[in-house]
């Protein structure tokens, strides 16, 4: 089966912002994911590919989202697309124009240092490495170094959340909560606002664990029993209460959404601290 | 010191696409990073916050990028901003409109399932967990499960690249190359195009390692000596040649850029395979 809706991402850099915009916009339509296809033409180093891309977009009835920083390329693509009646959106150009007008600054019009290898970049790389080294409770002795510590029972998406946060430059550690295994007292001594409790609907967690067990070809036992799940969640709640940690319910939430919620809590607190 | 250029991200979802667009556009100006500030107002659940945001943007001479899916909110924000002479850009609205016209489909105009918890989502979560479990050579027995395997000497950014790729849904393993430590033969038996060699300029690597050693408070020794670095890179080259692996030079490149290059190679190959 071939897709019906084609989006062409064209960029002289990584194309990441056009891709992110495309995904957000596509989520606004009731389309089957298999019906949509992204075609990435990124890292372009000349305009030689543009005519072919426009022709393909035309043939597929597709749309072109582009982020071409190079002065004339964006114009060239728009002209070509117009000739072929292909719809385009110059995402970078529009955003740059608004900034330029509002701030009274002139853009450089070259794709060069899209991602600057500056202190902030290396801090982000450091956060990624730190996070991997400290996954799943392995950070117990280094929790004080973490920007964020996530705690919760098994299968509340602690690890994927850490990876997502690390990718955004945050040293994220996670500590599993298991009844009968004492949680390190250090967790209660960390600066306020650094620890977040993750919780989830018991029925949903049960479902997730049953699927997990099936995947691994096991029988489940305690791990995927209603009584155990209830007990574990209650145990976690106790820890959250004792530490007075903010609690986030991840039920039905994607990691992006949970991460946004965590960042929102942090920003609210930073806002209050500034006042 | 407070920033001079303020960008307000306003969204009823995660605000990720506006944030990505803002960063790409800001990179187009010669601004000191400390001179720019993003203000994230995301996950909005009512319009009650909009007047305050617009007032703050006005006071700071800022710009508003928004991705409000809810039908009337976007209009309300635009009206408010106009009244206060604040520049705005409706990134989601513009993109949705282009898709809607090109595809002849109607948007839902609600922020609801921005990130669908479907099979593709769970595959991505699985990739994140897999990648963390298999960092730094720990995947040797499971390499056949990986989507991408990165090999190279120490400090060519294998781990951050894996994290970045995992975040994009790719099971990424990495295998360090160390002279004297035999590399598993399995690497040479994997399907073509799955293994990538990472290399880097010797002088730059030396610099990175010296900084690393300084950070860790050590003296360096062999690890940060020119002769060792040369020998290691030569050893890696041999492996790359033997496996006929595509080689990517990461010198001066951000992980986003290297990842885009890897994805480009994979897509070119997929394109050829289709023909």
Of how many residues is chain A composed?
A: 275
Q: Yes or no: say if A10 and A44 are a contact pair by the CB < 8 Å rule.
A: yes
* Residue whose token pair is 């928004």: B66
Question: pLDDT class for B234, splitting at 50, 70, 90?
Answer: very high
A99 to B63: CB separation less than 8 angstroms, yes or no: yes
Rounded Cα distance between B55 and B61, Å, is 10
Choose the weakest-confidence range: A65-69, A195-199, B112-116, B141-145. B112-116
CA B211 to chain centre: 24
Residue B63 structure tokens? 């710009």
Which residues are CB-neighbours of B269 under 8 A, at least 6 positions away? B193
Q: How far away is chain A from the Cα of B270, in angstroms, using its nearest Cα?
A: 12
- pLDDT the model gives residue B116: 65
CATH 3.40.50.2300 domain extents, chain B: 5-103
What is the overall mean pLDDT for chain A?
Answer: 90
Measured between beta carbons, which residues in chain A are less than 8 angstroms from residue B132?
132, 135-136, 159, 162-163
Tell which residue, A175, A193, A192, has the closest CA to residue A184. Answer: A175
Does the annotation flag B153 for ligand binding?
yes
A43 inside 8 A of chain B by CB: yes
Which position has the higher pLDDT, A265 or A177? A177
- Inspect the interface and report whether the beta carbons of A24 and B16 lie closer than 8 Å: yes
Across B176-198, average pLDDT: 91
Q: Tell me whether residue B73 is exposed, middle or buried, using C-beta atoms within 10 angstroms of its C-beta: 0 to 12, 13 to 18, 19 or more.
A: buried
Q: Spell out the residues 6+ positions from residue A144 whose beta carbon is closer than 8 angstroms to its own.
A: A186, A190
**A144 interfaces chain B, CB cutoff of 8 Å:** no
Lowest-confidence segment of A16-20, A134-138, A176-180 by average pLDDT: A134-138
Phi, psi of A274 (to 5 degrees): -75, -30
> Nearest residue of B to residue A260 by CA position?
B14
Q: What does the alpha-carbon distance between residue A176 and residue A251 come to, in Å, rounded to a whole number?
A: 18
Helix%, strand%, coil% for chain B, nearest 5 = 55, 15, 30
Cβ–Cβ below 8 Å for B63 and A252: no
ipTM over 0.85: no
> Which run of H or of E encompasses A87?
strand A87-90
- Pairwise CB contact (< 8 Å): A24 & B65: no
Q: What's the topology of domain A119-274?
A: Rossmann fold (3.40.50)
State which residue of chain A sits closest to B252, comparing Cα positions.
A117
pLDDT at B273: 64
CATH T-level assignment (fold) for domain B5-103: Rossmann fold (3.40.50)
pLDDT computed for residue A138 by the predictor: 77
Interface residue A159 vs chain B (CB under 8 A): yes
| Among A164, A171, A167, residue whose Cα is nearest residue A146 | A171
Residue count of chain B, please give it.
Answer: 275
The minimal CB distance from B252 to the residues A7, A27, A117 is found for A117
Could you give the angle at which helices A16-26 and B16-26 cross, rounded to 10 degrees? Answer: 160
Ranges A133-142, A182-191, A204-213, B144-153: which has the least confidence: A133-142
> Exposed (0-12), middle (13-18) or buried (19+): which is A111, by Cβ within 10 Å?
buried
Q: What is the Cβ-side half-sphere exposure of residue A83, based on CA atoms within 13 angstroms?
A: 10
Report the pLDDT value the prediction gives residue A220, as an integer from 0 to 100.
Answer: 64
């Amino acid at each position: 089966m071939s897709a019906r809706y084609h989006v062409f991402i064209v960029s002289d850099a990584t194309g990441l912002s056009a891709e992110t915009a495309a995904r957000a916009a596509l989520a606004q339509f009731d389309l089957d994911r298999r019906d949509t296809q992204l075609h990435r033409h990124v890292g372009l180093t000349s305009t030689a590919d543009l005519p072919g891309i426009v022709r393909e977009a035309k043939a597929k009835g597709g749309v072109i989202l582009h982020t071409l920083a190079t002065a004339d390329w964006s114009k060239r693509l728009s002209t070509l697309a117009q000739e072929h009646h292909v719809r385009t959106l110059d995402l970078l150009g529009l955003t740059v124009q608004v900034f330029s007008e509002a701030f009274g600054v002139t853009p450089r019009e070259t794709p060069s240092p899209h991602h600057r290898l500056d202190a902030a970049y290396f801090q982000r790389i450091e956060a990624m490495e730190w996070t991997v080294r400290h996954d799943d409770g392995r950070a117990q002795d280094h929790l004080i170094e973490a920007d964020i510590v996530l705690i919760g029972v098994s299968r509340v998406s602690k690890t994927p959340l850490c990876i997502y946060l690390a990718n955004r430059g945050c040293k994220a550690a996670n500590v599993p909560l298991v009844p009968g295994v004492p949680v390190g007292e250090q967790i209660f001594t960390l600066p306020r606002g650094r620890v977040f409790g993750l919780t989830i609907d018991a029925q949903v967690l049960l479902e997730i664990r049953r699927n997990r067990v099936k995947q691994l070809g096991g029988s489940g036992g305690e791990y995927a029993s209603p009584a155990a799940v209830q007990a574990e969640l209650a145990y976690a709640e106790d820890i959250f209460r004792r530490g007075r940690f903010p609690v986030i319910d991840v039920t039905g939430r994607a990691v992006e959404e949970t991460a946004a919620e965590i960042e929102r809590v942090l920003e609210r607190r930073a806002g209050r601290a500034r006042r």
